[in-house]
Amino acid sequence: MEFSDQSFEQDVLNSPQPVLVDFWATWCGPCRMMSPTVDAIAAEYAGRAKVGKVNVDENQMVASRFGIRSIPTLLLFKAGQIQEQVVGSVPKETINKMIDKYLG
């Protein structure tokens, strides 16, 4: 799922489910390395949490609003608020634990 400057409020901030947002760019090597992990998490949590990506080059308003300075950055939102943040490549288990804390 791709989030954009235009859809971010509706898709992320107004979501009743926890939302994991992967801030990335096509030229970012670590972002490309994290992509299969993020895709696997999206499949694993389908129906329980939303998982999506924001291309920082194409959606600079959202990236700047949340102070994204390094990518990849993963932000976990619940009830419109940032609950957790991870910068850089991390193991899948780290992301699983982060999401599991906020599931009903």
Q: Which of 70, 100, 69 is nearest to 83 (CA)?
A: 100
User: Which of 7, 17, 25, 28 is the catalytic position?
Assistant: 28
Strands in 73-78's sheet, in edge-to-edge order, are 50-55, 19-24, 73-78, 81-87
Check: CB of residue 50 under 8 Å from CB of residue 75: no
- How many whole angstroms separate alpha carbon 86 and alpha carbon 29? 17
Q: Is 31 a catalytic residue?
A: yes
Q: Is 43 a catalytic residue?
A: no
Amino acid in position 47 = G
- How many whole angstroms separate alpha carbon 95 and alpha carbon 99? 6
User: Which of 31, 41, 54, 63 is the catalytic position?
Assistant: 31
Residues labelled catalytic: 28, 31
